[in-house]
Amino acid sequence: MKERLARFAYALAFVLVAIYAVATLAGPKGIAALFEKERQIQAADKRNAELEKDIERTKQRIDRLGSQTEQERIVEERLNLVRPGDKVFMLPDSKKK
């Protein structure tokens, strides 16, 4: 009798542990959440790589801006300035017909 009761207790404990394991793996913090976190990590890694490239491009631009000629070129371009002696060609606006 004691042996049957012990077997029943072990079987019951095993079933309870199995139910707990399934509930934990299928629950909100289970396997689905693990895959979602992995996807978020991959997206963050991709964004970090993009930001690192952007930082490198910005550093290179800063280095180029250290030269006087590059600074002048950017100012002329943004303000539509022309140096004395440069020729300016006025093209008709293609939107007006």
The structural domain count of the chain equals 1
| Domain assignment present for 85 | no
> pTM score, two decimals?
0.48
Classify the C-alpha dihedral 46-50-51-55 as positive or negative: positive
The label of the residue with tokens 């600074």 reads 71
* Coil vs helix vs strand at 89: coil
| pLDDT reported for residue 97 | 54
Which range marks the domain in which residue 24 is found? 2-76
| Domain assignment present for 62 | yes
| Domain assignment present for 96 | no
| Domain assignment present for 25 | yes
In tens, the pLDDT along 8-22 reads 889 999 999 998 888
| Domain assignment present for 82 | no
| Domain assignment present for 53 | yes
| Domain assignment present for 59 | yes
| Domain assignment present for 86 | no
In tens, the pLDDT along 20-78 reads 888 777 777 778 888 899 999 999 999 999 999 999 999 988 887 777 777 788 888 78
